[in-house]
């Protein structure tokens, strides 16, 4: 009888620890919703969409990209990745997708968006993960760990790809 009580108590504790651990992990490591904003002239011939998740690293990367792009005659739209289902890819000269690897897979909205693209030539993907090596299959992505450098190390790689897509700076 005593052994049975100990076994039931142990099972009860484990049953409470697992959901509690998952909730803590999600609360501690989950991304917040990124702030949407526009920059540049809406009538500009070139348009760059930056779809991101909110985190200090991603926010710094977006700020660096916007700072870099302001020297060009380009319209910049910044949205949270959760708004990607409403995006028409043909409306954009280039699309920068910044997402994190969640529970051993890409963020769901980011993955669904990439999968529905008929061609990915104008897409620049930055995937952050704990190891800094995760990426979607079949996508030429820049992979990084969310290590706060000043500026983020992936900024140089992203601006090079964007510059190649947008052509020579004026």
**Tens place of pLDDT per residue across the chain (170 aa):** 788 888 777 887 777 777 665 555 554 455 688 889 999 998 999 999 999 999 888 999 999 999 999 989 999 999 999 999 999 999 999 999 999 887 778 888 999 999 998 888 899 998 887 656 666 767 777 777 666 665 577 898 899 999 999 986 65
If one looks up domain 37-166 in CATH, what number appears? 3.40.50.360
DSSP, residue by residue, 22-83 = HHHHHHHHPPBPPPPEEES-TT-SEEEEEEE-BSHHHHHHHHHHHHHHTTSSEEEEEEEGGG
**What's the CA angle centered on 137, arms 64 and 81, to 5 degrees?**
45
Delimit the domains of the chain by residue range.
1-30, 37-166
User: Whole-model pTM?
Assistant: 0.79
The Cα 52–Cα 80 span in angstroms is 5
């Amino acid at each position: 009888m005593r052994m049975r009580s100990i076994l039931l108590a142990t099972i009860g504790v484990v049953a409470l620890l697992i959901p509690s651990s998952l909730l803590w992990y999600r609360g501690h490591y989950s991304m917040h919703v990124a702030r949407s904003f526009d920059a540049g002239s809406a009538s500009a011939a070139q348009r760059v969409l930056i779809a991101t998740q909110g985190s200090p690293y991603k926010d710094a990367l977006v700020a660096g990209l916007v700072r870099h792009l302001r020297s060009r005659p380009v319209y910049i739209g910044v949205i949270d990745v959760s708004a990607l289902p409403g995006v028409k890819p043909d409306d954009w000269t280039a699309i920068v997708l910044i997402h994190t690897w969640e529970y051993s897979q890409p963020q769901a909205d980011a993955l669904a968006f990439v999968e529905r693209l008929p061609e990915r030539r104008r897409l620049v993907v930055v995937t952050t993960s704990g190891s800094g090596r995760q990426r979607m299959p079949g996508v030429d992505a820049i992979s990084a760990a969310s290590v706060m450098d000043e500026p983020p190390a992936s900024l140089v790689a992203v601006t090079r790809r964007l510059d190649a897509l947008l052509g020579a700076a004026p």
